[in-house]
Chain A
């Protein structure tokens, strides 16, 4: 098991629901990421947070809203999703620094399998 946890592991929601995905890392990292992985498709980077600041938003629709209250926790708030948003949502973390000692390898959580009905 890695030091990145995600809840819930499975989620089924209707298109009018609002739900949130939670990620927590216990590795002392300061950068966190959300990825989407659809069936038979490569990983798609959604959001990057570095030292709690959002540094990248890869043209993700506004029905996905990230929140990073501190460097250990990351949320993805979901509302009015579409069936094509059904996918595995992966959280990852890494150590990113500006003064040396940074490592760029990312460690993934187990993912949340989301089904939108």
Chain B
């Protein structure tokens, strides 16, 4: 079992819709959770982090964490074509570095 799992996609949504990206993790001791956006050929950019159960909102982005289910998600409201990218979920488990998932590719259709 991979430590951090994401559906590779592509997830295709129409412009203006809500995109829902999901991530599961295996280590119950995981403490912190991060979402990165990576455009093709570019480096990952941190867009959200969440430490506690529940929802955290920042503009059009909402991160949701459920530690009991070992599940973290990212919702993107009013999706725009510029949101088309690969979204990486990362988890801090108490070791020295983050553990990354392989990413979900999001396509927003105009």
Q: A45 — which chain B residues lie within 8 A by C-beta? A: 97
B98 x A111 contact (CB < 8 A): no
Shortest beta-carbon distance from A87 to chain B in Å: 12
Contact of B49 among A105, A109, A110 (CB under 8 A): A105
Contact of B102 among A42, A50, A90 (CB under 8 A): A42
Chain B interface, >50% SS class: loop
A105 x B97 contact (CB < 8 A): no
Which of B18-26, B37-45, B59-67, B70-78 lies on the face that meets chain A?
B37-45
- Docked CA distance A106–B32 (Å): 12
Sort chain A's interface into a size bin: 20 to 34
- Docked CA distance A8–B34 (Å): 28
Mark interface residues in A14-58 (1 if CB within 8 Å of B CB, else 0): 000000000000000001010000000111010010100001100
A105 x B34 contact (CB < 8 A): yes
Contact of A106 among B31, B46, B101 (CB under 8 A): B46
With A33-B97, A90-B44, A108-B43 known, 14 other A-B pairs at CB within 8 A are A31-B96, A42-B100, A42-B102, A43-B88, A45-B97, A55-B96, A56-B95, A88-B43, A104-B31, A104-B92, A105-B46, A106-B46, A108-B36, A109-B43
